[in-house]
Structure 1
């Protein structure tokens, strides 16, 4: 993974960029998530985590709008 200002800089055609639009930062963040194959669950708050060996194996979350109760996500 490269340094955020370097990746944002490529968007603007520069080596590094420290001042950028929020949408550009969001796009870079989404690229990092996609490259890392991270599952993102929006609209939920984590209330518990189970670890196996030093890695997270599952987490418990609830919908912040109260619509879907309690969910367990296995990683």
Structure 2
């Protein structure tokens, strides 16, 4: 029985970056996502000003969300 538990655990291993991206996407509502995009277009990377418009969000959370969802790495 230990062998079947071990193999089932191995099958559920997921890349941590993938989990982080999915968790962040679900943690922000559509309204918050829209507001972040609009504010970013107006203010740029002034995360503290954007966070001031979204109750309960920190500048660090918003910057991490933005970098995870919209950064381009080439």
Higher helix share: 2
TM-score (norm 1): 0.28
Higher strand share: 1
Q: Relative CO higher for 1 or 2, CA cutoff 8 Å, sep ≥ 6?
A: 2
